[in-house]
Structure formats: structure tokens, C-alpha cells
Amino acid sequence: MKFTKKSHACVRLDKEGRTLVIDPGGFSEEDAAVGADVVLVTHEHADHFDEGRLRAALEANPAAGVWAPKSVADQIAAAFPGRVHTVGHGDTFTAAGFEVEVHGELHAVIHPDIPRITNVGYLIDGGRVFHPGDALTVPGRPVETLMLPVMAPWSKISEVIDYVREVEPQRAYDVHDALLTDLARPIYDRQIGALGGTDHLRLPPGASADL
């Protein structure tokens, strides 16, 4: 499986000629989801869900489908009948050769005064990849590669480190990093790498790695 980092929380996975994209939001490239056979969205926030990017993917590939929580699916389903699927915690499905399990229910707490919204994470191919969206969901099974939300208004680095320790992936790649300045990156790299207990990795947008 080939992993390509897109800007912020968006990732692309390629396997056997098929492509899966997660969270092509407003901080990702305009064509982040174009060419995808499967698009997964974790939640409705604009940095993870952009209707224009989803439309571009579905229009470019008439066989492509979207899987997302109801809050996202309801916004685009009418325009693409039968191609937008609502998912929630505990669901499993196979799409374009990818086996997907849905884990998690709620977005991390931003502030007690802000209502929490639905957020789901996606476990791909039995644990080869896990993308939790905007939550520190532990899927409860082995994970080879964790897409680690490294920096967000709702998190602090001690929580990120403890999350890596709890999931115990073989490796963790940074995502959700658009707000992390270059000045801060060495601090995050050093502390997560030293304390997380796993191989902590980072790719610039557009770069790829084999998983």
C-alpha cells in the first residue's frame, strides 16, 4: 500500500490500482480527492469536509463513492443518488478492495461550552492504517500505521504522546498539522519520538511512503 500525505488531515492510500482518500477538507489541495475510488470523511468541520472537493471526486469518477457520518452525507447525498453512504461506530464495509471498519462517535472536546459533534475514525484493511479524525479514539486492535492528529486547538502534546502509547502502532505519521509552524515541528518531533514509544514520522504534503 502506498501512502501519500496531502495537506493537513487529508491522506491518500493506493493499493492494486485503487485509491482511497480520507478527509479532503478546505485546508487540503483543490484536487485532493480527484482520482479516488473511495472517499471517507470523519466529520463535518471544514478542514475535513469540503463539498466542492467531494463533488470534484465524484464527477471525475462515476464509480466513486463517499462514506461519511450523517451530518456530512446529508449535505451531498441528493446530488449523487446511491453513491453517498452514511456510517457510524461499529459499521464495516468493503469498497474498491479496501476493508473498512468505523470506530468512534464524538469529536474531541474543544471547550465545554462548544457542543460535541459526531466524529468517526476509519481502520483500513484490518489495522494496516487507522485515521481517527479529530478524536483520540483507540480502536481496540493492533494498528500498523497511525495517522496521528499531531496538533489541534483541542489537543496538547501530552495527550498526543499518551495516545500513541495507548494505540501502540508500529509507526505514526503526522496529520492535522496545517497549524503547526516550522519553528514548532522540531519540538513535536523530538518529544513524540522520544516519549511515544513508536517510530514517529512526518512527510511534507505530496510526499509518499510505502506501508
Domains in the chain: boundaries:
2-210
Give the torsion through C-alpha atoms of 150, 151, 156, 161, to 10 deg. 10
pLDDT tens per residue across span 85-107: 999 999 999 999 999 999 999 99
pLDDT tens per residue across span 153-196: 999 999 999 999 999 999 999 999 999 999 999 999 999 999 99
For range 146-153, the mean pLDDT:
97
- Report how far residue 134's alpha carbon sits from residue 177's, in angstroms, rounded to the nearest whole number: 12
Question: Does this model's pTM top 0.85?
Answer: yes
pLDDT at 13: 98
Top-level CATH class of 2-210? alpha beta
